[in-house]
Structure 1
Amino acid sequence: MPLKQNLHPSNRHNNGYDFLALCQSLPTLKPFVHTNKYQNLSIDFANAKAVKALNQALLKYHYQVNQWDIPTGYLCPPIPGRVDYIHYLADLLVISLPATSTLKESKVSVLDIGAGASCIYAILGQREYQWQFTCTDIDPTSIKVAKQIISADKSFKKSITCRLQPNSSQIFNGIIEEDDRFELTMCNPPFHRSLAEATKGSARKVKNLAANKKTLTPSLTTSPSVSLNFGGQNAELWCEGGELAFINQMIKESKSIQKQVLWFTCLVSKKDHISQLKQTLNKSKAKQIKVVDMAQGQKISRFIAWSFLDESQQKNWFNLV
């Protein structure tokens, strides 16, 4: 089954989902697989259990992750789009490497802000590039579940650690320690401004899924707050001021740790926010600002990256590690 086009060239999901191979790898996926109206094998993407089973199969078949699970109601991330962010971050790092180095030769440490229970970016980044990850979250349950996933895999235990952010009003403060150095920070921020706005967004997605299916699954009609595959906990979906306020706060805090991070990055869901974020970064005297588009079919996602180091300082970064 083909996926959306224009994933990163290194994305192993460019050829779509091989449901026969996935079911063979994880037999518990098989009951959820059916032939859709286009005569392709697929699943009901409005069924949270089906989506989680698909994720488990993808992680097992493509990334050799044998134990991965998240609690009901927590965000179940789409693997192809998440790993795209990782590949584009690798491209960003390459431009900062000395001419004599390669990405695989360089030890890369990444700070994932709001990693969630799924710990998905760390899992994918470790498997694809053997990066070291520090995962943070304000939700104790997310940290607990992420630690369980990590403890089940020998390579994860060596390369992924978790830190609980005790202050929900802070992002880097209280997390980054004095001797920390990170080549990258990454974040998929909460983009809604309120619970009401998040609920409205979920209802819209339910409607779109129903239109694609032609019939609405009864469980989706009972409550706008029903747990969905694209659902999530409050901290995963919204914060006061939405993503713009969140990223502005991130930029503000990044100034105090500017010498400890090579590239700060964050996903930006709304293109209209880019110009305002650039203004904030210019006022903060960031020396490099980049906006990287990630095309996925008709949807264009993007992340903004900034550094307080100029190009020559960046080239010397890996010599100091």
Structure 2
Amino acid sequence: MQKKKVHPKIKSELHPRSRHRERYNFKVLIKSSPELAPFVAPNKYGDDSVDFFNPKAVLALNRALLIHHYGLEFWDIPEYYLCPPIPGRADYIHNIADLLKGDNSEIPKEDHIKGLDIGVGASCIYPIIGNYEYGWSFIGSDTNEAAIISSKQIEQRNSNLKSNVEIRRQEQSNNFFYGILKPDEKVDFAMCNPPFHASAEDAEKASLKKLKNLKGRRPSKAILNFGGQQDELWTKGGEARFVKDMIYESRNFAKQCLWFTSLISKETTLKPTYKILQKVNATEVKTIEMGQGQKVSRFIAWTFLSEEEQKDWITKRW
């Protein structure tokens, strides 16, 4: 056994309201979800852990986290679909809450706050966390039929989600808001976790590099421990093209959404994105950085509403 690592008690890089700032308590998680037990064993330092290179172990851990921390009665996803790291997804939600709060003293927790999750995926993760933490309702959209079926099943089999989450199929793969938002429908925010890579080859190279860094040797094949389908991992032109198209379409929904947001994986994507936002006359742009372990993540937020219109929106909606 190698010399035991000394871990900080609090993961200070995570959002202050995150439920994941302490190390995993596997005894408590197993009590909430006994299916996790077979995957928990001491690691080389003698600490209880799971094999994060085993997709089944990652799935079992995520299920336990969601049942224990977010009151779910059921959660599952189809094989090979993206199994999201919960702490990072929770940070996006908490930071959106801060964005909506603005200069107000209170964080909006009312159930009349509504969000649009573009690419809800098979996991329905953002509506789960946003509804539990803040009581928000959600529209979740996706182009993938299996993802839609999975998220609908999660929504239907969890009593707290039934009346607060609506899953809608996006029939046109190039659209973001068209075909999803009705003409008279408003949402307080839109969020999105875009495909990062420009091709399947880029996605595999990134996975190989990640595994090499973690294991210290070059694997012969990328094993996606968190899973992921083509439309979850890569798109033509990568995230830069994806976010650009999203921004251009968002102009046509300027009065139907207070804040548009999207995760940005690559720092190099920011500069061209700022130029596009300037070109489309966004009235306010914010970049919110989030730290998750050794990785720095971020999302960009923009609105087309003036300061007065934002205040009026808050007064009428909240």
**TM-score under structure 1 length normalisation:** 0.92
Q: CA deviation at 1:96?
A: 6.4
Matched, 1:157 2:162: yes
CA contact (8 A) 1:96 1:311 kept: no
* Alignment correspondent of 1:283: 279
Alignment pair present for 1:53 and 2:53: no
Task: Give 1:192's aligned residue.
Answer: 197
- Equivalent position of 2:208 in the other structure: 203
Contact 2:111 2:137 survives alignment (8 Å): no
Which residue pairs with 1:269 in the alignment? 265
CA distance in 2, matches of 1:22, 1:41: 12
Match of 1:103 in 2: 108
Percent pairwise identity: 47
| 1:5–1:300 Cα change, 3 Å | same
Match of 2:289 in 1: 293
Q: Is the 8 A contact 1:202 1:230 kept in 2?
A: no
Instruction: Give, in angstroms, the shift of residue 102 of structure 1.
Output: 5.1
| Count, aligned residues | 310
Query: Distance in 2 between the 1:96 and 1:250 partners?
Result: 27
User: Residue in 1 aligned with 2:252?
Assistant: 256
Deviations 1:68-106 (A, max 9, x none): 000110000011110000000000000165x7x651247
Query: Could you tell me how far apart the structure 1 residues matched to 2:274 and 2:145 are?
Result: 33
> Quick check: 106-115 or 260-269, which moved more?
106-115
1:24-80, CA deviations, whole angstroms, 9 ceiling, x for partnerless residues? 211111111111122211100000000000011111111111210001100000111
Alpha-carbon offset, residue 5 of structure 1: 3.8
Where does residue 146 of structure 2 map in the other structure? 141
For residue 182 of structure 1, report the CA deviation from its aligned partner: 0.6
Question: Please, which of 146, 169, 172 is the counterpart of residue 167 of structure 1?
Answer: 172
Is the partner of 2:163 in helix, strand or coil? helix
Q: 1:131 maps to what in 2?
A: 136
Q: Pick from 214, 233, 238 the counterpart of residue 237 of structure 1.
A: 233
Q: CA offset at residue 298 of structure 1?
A: 2.3
RMSD over aligned Cα, in angstroms? 1.8
Q: Is the 8 A contact 2:194 2:242 kept in 1?
A: yes
Distance in 1, matches of 2:271 and 2:34, equals 48
1:177-218: CA deviations, max 9, x gaps?
10110100000000100111111112223323433xx8x9xx
Q: Give the partner amino acid of 2:201.
A: A
Q: Is the 8 A contact 2:11 2:22 kept in 1?
A: no
Paired residue for 2:301? Answer: 305
Partner of 1:30: 37
> Deviations for 1:120-171, whole angstroms, at most 9, x for unmatched residues?
0110101100101000011011000100011001220100001111111122
**Are the counterparts in 2 of residues 96 and 314 from structure 1 also a CA contact under 8 Å?**
no
* Aligned 8 A contact 1:46 1:209 in 2: no
Moved more, 88-97 or 117-126: 88-97
Match of 2:3 in 1: none
Q: Helix, strand or coil for the counterpart of 2:53? A: coil
Unaligned runs of 5+ in 2: 1-6
Contact 2:58 2:226 in 1 (8 A): no
Letter in 1 for 2:275: Q
How far 1:4 sits from its partner (Å)? 4.9
Of structures 1 and 2, the one with the larger relative CO (CA 8 A, separation 6+) is: 1
* Secondary structure, counterpart of 1:274 in structure 2: helix
SS across alignment from 1:300 = strand
- Are the aligned partners of 2:187 and 2:258 in contact in 1 as well (CA < 8 Å)? yes
Q: Which region of structure 1 is more displaced relative to structure 2, 295-304 or 120-129?
A: 295-304
Structure 1 residues 229 and 174, CA gap change in structure 2 (3 angstroms): same
Q: Distance in 2 between matches of 1:164 and 1:96?
A: 35
| Equivalent residue, structure 2, for 1:76 | 83
- The gaps in structure 1 that reach 5 residues or longer are none
